[in-house]
Chains A and B, each alone.
Chain A
Amino acid sequence: MPSIKILLVSDLHAGSCENPENPSSWLDQERDSTNAKANPVVGLIETLNRAAIHPDFLVCTGDIGNIGNPTGIAYGWEQIAKIRKELNIQNIITTCGNHDIQRPNGQTVVDPWAHVRNLSPSYPFDDIHSNIKYFTNGFHVANYQPFRFIIVNSCAFHDNPAELERGKIAKATIDAIEAALQVDKGRYCCNIIAVHHHPHRYAEIDYDKDYDSIVGGSEFLNMLETSTQNCLVLHGHKHLPRVSLGGGLLARTVLFSIGSLSAILYQKLATISSNQFYILELDSDSIASSGMVGDFTAWDFQYTKGWVPAVSRTMKTHLPYKGSFGSKIDHVSCANTINGMIDGKRIVKWASIIRAIPHLRYASPYDIEYLQAMLTDRHNCGIDIDQNGRPIQAAPGVTP
């Protein structure tokens, strides 16, 4: 399996809401629409079938249900199983979200995990041994050489009501994961970590209220980065599409924040982002030569229109239809090189720029946006980006 395609979904928040005036999700067992333009799961299946995209993995980073409602959780899990079956996806990687755990609601809950453990098909993995390891150790390792998945339960402490509002990875779990990473490390090109909560704070939406990031997240990222291995962290929870490098000491781990598949976004978020799902493409040879790099394709959900190629808008809170990640860019020297190639009068195709600066191949949408701004501000030139979010060419400004 030298290269893989991963279908990424998260935060379905499925289920009928107690308050029909204020539903939580486009996925609702009461409506259960078969219309691809109204039902994100039906639409997703249709979109990928139409595009003849066949993912090898289905990754779901939690919150399949909403506020611990068992009916909604069961319905959400059914939807995940439906996606897997309809698209004939061999492998599934799932982790728990804070909404998948039964809430105390003023009463004592003896075993908040009971309903997810009893789900059918088996949750979160196909075999009971993996499930036991996941719930007991707080993580599980799934090997698909040369790719290795580490599935982490950031809700492991949620049987304690005081921990419900945040994620947490115990120091002992971090140590155990560190040890696990050393096992057969030469056989894997990278480690793909699936976890629900975000490992460090994001201030884009809740500038002063982002209290729910993982306790122990910094230590976790430091551990990953000092492991000398390539790591990609896939997480959900914030409903905030974003891909970035960083968090740890060396800022070399890729953090992919997955937007919500079907939660009805609250107004502030809806104005700057949208429901999304993704196809991630990872190639072991490229990772071996360039580090933790990859490409993604993103779709936006618009109720009554269904899934459409993601539109390009502000890159900080949204991902465009096509993009890459993983390159560590020296923006200043790149801008100087590109400006030299333009020489005040030439249009330079992006392919030529990549030949001159190979690591720009995996520049993220933010890198391109920043490079564009730097070229405009400092060199009176810029980058043309197509409607899919891909750079096409660099060119001089209109005033010579």
Chain B
Amino acid sequence: MTIAQFSGLFDAFNARAMNFSQVAETFVPPSFFHSMLKPCHTLLVGPRGSGKTTLLKMMSYDGWKCLHAQNDTPREGFPFIGVYIPVDRSWRTGLSDMLGQSAVSSRTSNAASRGLVNTHVHMALIETVMSVVSDHSHDAHGENSEVEIIRELAETWKLTPKQSTFISLMRELRTIQAEVIRLRNRALEFNDEDAAARLVSMDYIHNDPIGTSAIAIDGICKLYGLTPIKWALLFDELEISPKWLKDAAFSSMRSINQRILLKMSAAPFDDDLEENANPTAPTALNDYETIPLWYTTKDEGFDFCKKIAHNLINKNSSILHSTGDALGTSILDSDAGRGTYAPGGDAHKRIERLAERDATFAEYLASLPFDYRNLTGVPEPMMAQHIRKPIEIIVFREFFLKSRRGRIEKRSRKSLDIYAGESSVYAISEGNPRWLIGLMNRMIDLSNGTVPIPHNVQSRSILETTNRFRALLRTIPAPSAHADRGLLALIDRIGSGFTARLLGDKFDPEPALSFIVPADASNDLLDAVSTAVRSGALVYLPDSAADIAIVSPRGKRFRISFMLAPNYSLPLIKGRYISLNSLIHQRDDTGRQLSIF
């Protein structure tokens, strides 16, 4: 299962289909944007919709120009000249099913892949060069430089453009691209051996796309006097590129000249990036910096989401509204001030109500070294440990549980206002701009643009969005051996496992809400978890920056996406962790173990 096989949620907000100017118009720089601009190789890792394309487009030369034109600020301090290279699925056509192919087919697919990568990379580079030259070249002999560089490139790249101009070179590259596709199709679909031989014999396709781009950049910088400036090749969606390109890109991080930076975006847990398998390969925090594009806790993405929400709320409004006014406070923010724990305060009331209906919670309170009815004098560390920390669990149990004949049971809730309010809305979006925009736009539509947006409207929009996300997940097949069950079966099993622990008979102040993938997990399970992370259904929780693994989920910790939390009545925290095995392996009435993997 690859990320390419399912469509993204809310594709209307997909930056891939937008031009630089459109992306710049709505761009909100995340807190780590400056880290991305550092003069070092960078790997941006994030699931679908996490803003990888937007960020790379804004780091490109033309994107940067649009961004600064939009903000009406000077373009000084340009960190590098970025060449945006969208990875194309056609680069791996025929490569994915090479097992069982004849040697001729395999050679053809490889040759075509290399030809297409080279033409795409070189065209992206030349387009950027044309833009740079038209902005920087005040040299009266600029056109002579163009003739000179094209002659040099033609020789290095093994090309024969009709004229020594960038335009002619672009035309030549387009012609080669069309020729590569034509020969590949003839060779693979009609077993045309002559076409296969002609394809393989094309000198140009055997170029190293990154190395030859570096040579071109060197020449261009010298001729146009751009020597101090660094360049960055910005590969977007590396996960859908062929493995040979991933290998080349990672090995280039060590060998490429200092002028060239590689900044690439990838989905987490890509089997092809087996960096650990190769001891000479570059490693994270050494040759490149890895930047995760997701937030592990709900507070991390708050400021970024707030800016996006502010723009959306005020897009068509003549009066400027604050996001706080528009979305209101979340019930889950009830630990905001100590007043809420005083008698009559919201948290205090909830504690009392739960204690009345949940005997196990009452036992918990009785075991505390202070009287919960008078929390005002309780020392802060004690308060934090026993009340503030579990408050979200208390609020959820109070909201979802009722007492019936001395026993507690889950009550059905039509309205899920518990998920409404500013901080919760942002948390549910996971800081994923595409999700947040989709969610906010729906709320604004349903409330007809009025502010504040009522909590019942917010919770309705959230539920709709959650259901849309589930519908998308339903279309994603599970790993090959269990294709009939679908990925959603795994997510549901995990989600309901957490629900049972949160809303079970016994109050647990720190229930398990995240899991670790066991070291002995089957390949099917590993694939399923990887796919779920790439689709955004699961969120990876690295222990540290050095642990932003992109290779295997084995031994790593995950939680369910907050976007799915309303479906399982889960709070927006990561909680304690347990082994994935204990969630997905259940026993039937006879004690027989049931497993979906």
**Cβ of A288 < 8 Å from any Cβ of B?**
no
**Cβ of A392 < 8 Å from any Cβ of B?**
yes
When each residue 45-75 of chain B gets 1 if its CB lies under 8 Å from chain A and 0 otherwise, what string results? 0000000000000000000000000000000
Cα–Cα, bound, A384→B172 (Å): 11
Which chain A positions have C-beta within 8 A of B159?
Answer: 398
Which chain A positions have C-beta within 8 A of B171?
Answer: 384
CB distance from A383 to the nearest CB of B (A): 8
Which chain A positions have C-beta within 8 A of B446?
Answer: none
**Among candidates A345, A376, A383, A384, residue contacting B147 with C-beta atoms closer than 8 Å:** A345
Pick the interface stretch among B160-168, B303-311, B572-580.
B160-168
Docked-complex contact B151 and A400, CB < 8 angstroms: yes
Which chain A positions have C-beta within 8 A of B161?
Answer: 398
**Cβ of B403 < 8 Å from any Cβ of A?**
no
**Cβ of A68 < 8 Å from any Cβ of B?**
no
**Cβ of B143 < 8 Å from any Cβ of A?**
yes
**Cβ of B227 < 8 Å from any Cβ of A?**
no
**Cβ of A397 < 8 Å from any Cβ of B?**
yes
- B-side interface residues, number (CB < 8 Å): 17
**Cβ of A393 < 8 Å from any Cβ of B?**
yes
Which chain B positions have C-beta within 8 A of A40?
Answer: none
**Cβ of B154 < 8 Å from any Cβ of A?**
yes
CB distance from B216 to the nearest CB of A (A): 15
Given A346-B143, A346-B144, A347-B143: A398 in contact with B150 (beta carbons within 8 A) = yes
Docked-complex contact B167 and A396, CB < 8 angstroms: no
**Cβ of A382 < 8 Å from any Cβ of B?**
yes
**Among candidates A345, A348, A395, A400, residue contacting B168 with C-beta atoms closer than 8 Å:** A395
Docked-complex contact B163 and A384, CB < 8 angstroms: yes
Which chain A positions have C-beta within 8 A of B144?
Answer: 345-347
**Cβ of A381 < 8 Å from any Cβ of B?**
yes
Docked-complex contact A347 and B147, CB < 8 angstroms: yes
When each residue 373-394 of chain A gets 1 if its CB lies under 8 Å from chain B and 0 otherwise, what string results? 0001000011110100000111
CB distance from A352 to the nearest CB of B (A): 11
Given A395-B147, A396-B147, A398-B150: A347 in contact with B162 (beta carbons within 8 A) = no
Query: Which of chain A's residues has its CB closest to B171's CB?
Result: A384
Cα–Cα, bound, A361→B201 (Å): 43
Which chain B positions have C-beta within 8 A of A397?
Answer: 162-164
**Cβ of B146 < 8 Å from any Cβ of A?**
yes
In this complex, the member of B150, B154, B159, B165 whose beta carbon has the largest number of chain A beta carbons within 10 angstroms is B165
Docked-complex contact A382 and B168, CB < 8 angstroms: yes
**Among candidates A386, A392, A395, residue contacting B164 with C-beta atoms closer than 8 Å:** A395
Query: Which of chain A's residues has its CB closest to B172's CB?
Result: A398
**Among candidates B146, B162, B165, residue contacting A376 with C-beta atoms closer than 8 Å:** B162
CB distance from A309 to the nearest CB of B (A): 17
Which chain A positions have C-beta within 8 A of B163?
Answer: 381-384, 394-398
Interface residues of A in 160-202 (CB under 8 A from B): none
CB distance from A356 to the nearest CB of B (A): 16
Which chain B positions have C-beta within 8 A of A399?
Answer: 151
Docked-complex contact A347 and B151, CB < 8 angstroms: no
Docked-complex contact A398 and B154, CB < 8 angstroms: yes
Cα–Cα, bound, A364→B301 (Å): 59
A-B contacts, 11 listed (Cβ < 8 Å): A347-B164, A348-B143, A381-B163, A384-B165, A386-B167, A395-B168, A397-B164, A398-B160, A398-B161, A398-B162, A398-B164
Which 8 A-B residue pairings sit nearest by Cβ, starting from the closest? Answer: A347-B143, A395-B163, A384-B167, A398-B154, A395-B165, A382-B163, A382-B162, A396-B164
Extra A-B contacts (5), CB below 8 Å, given A348-B143, A395-B163, A398-B150: A384-B168, A394-B163, A396-B164, A398-B154, A398-B160
